[in-house]
Structure 1
């Protein structure tokens, strides 16, 4: 690609300029706003290229390689976020302490609850709730649960991408390091979003909001008594997004063309997650989660098919993804926006006040505090939707026999000479 073209792609002055020539732009990615992040380098069994030299000196080792440098060193440098062995050790320590307390605690401190339990189990059960149908409120111990599960998600992501996806990618003949990283990333995405989409569907089916009966977002507010499953689901999602924020803060991923949009989406998502939980709007929050997770599952599958070059199957899956994205991320998002604007007043009059001790927060201006982040989410989704339509055009051409560059593939290796080599010394 010539320097003139690269300059034009790197500095678009209009949205049309941004879209123009995107199929030939290897530095752009489209993975949707819930895209998992990937460290800059990966530990590989394949022979890597010789370290680059600058002024005759070998360049320093990447700080974020996935091997452990020792537990304490990894804790101090936050490398546990990319080193699964260290993350696992950190996770095991509270489990051992919990087991010790369960064994000896009752005889030492009778009546005192296990202080380690909030890391693994949801807390703050409503005292007068039924044994057969318990309910839970929010509380400060939820922060401990989220903190522990940030480490859980770090371990799960790295374990999947390193120990499962890389051998699987090798079976499909993928050798290039950048594609190995992206392939692992999408394996994790499919597993995470697929699991959460199925779980979110199950939870919503047990709520009065099924299927997007939006009036129940507001009727009988405040909805502060949560089912155990709803609370765990909500906190697990919150932990995932906090872990994603950690990835961005540590710059574990090389910035790409829509990096600013991804950062904006993370901020908006955390805004929605935190506020909806704080002000007892978990019913609308769970509906938003589901509308995001289900289409992202199919996006991940489509990308995997693209990496292994199953073009015809990819076209079919991508068409399913396009329909799901259109319905969930646009139509249902607009339905929820309309509900915020027109059904907000279904909240009981006694709850239209700011009384946090009673779980009531819905003063008049809260309508806008809910509406604005959902609107911003819709704007970002529309931004990505334009790229999706461009991808659709490329997929149709591929089905007709014209091979095109998938803008979602993330193969942003700028020059062919910089590509890693396989074990035979040949380029992938």
Structure 2
């Protein structure tokens, strides 16, 4: 048995008693094919190009028109030695390292600290850049959520989850559902591809884990023809994502009351969809109602990873609401709006 034949063995990908023969195309029925997910490569490229065009032709002019302005920041004087130190240790140097460098360069410690503060300021993302990124994600998530809602609301298996598994895996692919699936996969692939160039947030590591888990779940569930279940999971995620991005856009515009209202709406939708509906859907209607096999066990593992991330983000959200309501602190986006360097310039992250 060759490696490819072993990898695609039906016992791994399909429930007991089912084979790939059950998912062969016919004149009346078309089924998902593993090679279809390769369309996410040109899809991700196309979405990246579309994003660049959107940001330059729509988001940037709109942001400037609405008053989004980048703060003028002093430029650090060029210095090869200090630059080398900054690249190695400049973000979080210890006091003894600063003292040693100041002595080597015969610089007052205060002047060295000022240089490092200015140099870190140069690397902080501009407000307009953050506005453009959030505007793009808001636009995509909004379109994705309401497109998915329009696609799924009249499907009987959405309201009676037992129908998700009716005659599985012999469930013909609906073209619109297939394209919705591939669009979501392409988008998350584009997010991973642009991560090095995007604003680096405090939950950068968690974002990477989330994107990897999401791409794996979408790809595997497509190959195993679990599109009905997968589409409902994606819709639950999109339900709160566009509200979060809207809150960020309003934050950058300094429309504080609207921003606070959007954040409260986001918190309610996020917690109810990720901590209530998501575990109910994944555990009760997937774990308890579905036959276990290798791929379904793998899916369960990645669903658990997502749920742990949901709990982590929900904790941050609840913590922030507690500070806002009971302590009167100014709002910061505890989930992912605040960048790693923002702690040094709190004025930018105040609501």
Judge same fold: TM > 0.5, yes or no.
Answer: yes
CA displacement at 1:155 relative to structure 2: 1.2
- Specify which of 162, 173, 179 is matched with residue 215 of structure 1: 162
1-side partners of 2:298 and 2:273: how far apart?
22
Structure 1 counterpart of 2:338 = 410
State the distance in 2 between where 1:285 and 1:228 align.
15
Structure-2 separation of matches of 1:235 and 1:300: 22
Q: Which has the higher helix share?
A: 2
Q: What corresponds to 1:296 in structure 2?
A: 241
Structure 1 residues 270 and 330: CA distance shift in structure 2, 3 A = same
1:161, CA displacement in angstroms? 1.9
- 2 CA distance for matches of 1:367 and 1:284? 12
Quickly say closer, same or farther: Cα 1:381–1:136, change in 2 above 3 A.
same
How do 1:9-408 residues align onto structure 2 when only pairs under 5 Å count?
A: 126-129=25-28, 135-139=29-33, 142-143=36-37, 145-176=39-70, 178-211=126-159, 213-248=160-195, 251-253=196-198, 255-336=200-281, 337-345=283-291, 364-396=293-325, 403-407=330-334, 408=336
CA distance in 2 between partners of 1:144 and 1:370 (Å): 20
Change (3 A) 1:323 1:254: closer
Segments of structure 1 that go 5 or more residues without pairing to the other structure are 1-123, 130-134, 346-362, 420-428
Residue deviations 1:251-280, cap 9 Å, x none? 223544322211111111111011100111
TM-score, normalization by structure 2: 0.69
The answer as to whether partners of 1:302 and 1:314 remain within 8 angstroms in 2 is yes
Q: TM-score, normalised by structure 1?
A: 0.57
The superposition leaves residues 109-153 of structure 1 with CA deviations (integer Å, 9 ceiling, x where unpaired) of: xxxxxxxxxxxxxxx994422xxxxx5322365245322211111
Deviations 1:356-398 (A, max 9, x none): xxxxxxx644442222111111100111111111332355479
The CA distance in 1 between the partners of 2:289 and 2:24, in whole Å, is 30
- Computed over aligned residues only, the root mean square deviation of the Cα atoms, in angstroms, reads 2.6
Distance 1:404 1:142, change over 3 A: closer
CA offsets, 1:204-228, max 9 Å, x none? 12423223x3222322211541111
Is 1:307–1:409's contact at 8 Å kept on the other side of the alignment? no
- Structure 2 unmatched runs, 5+: 1-22, 71-124
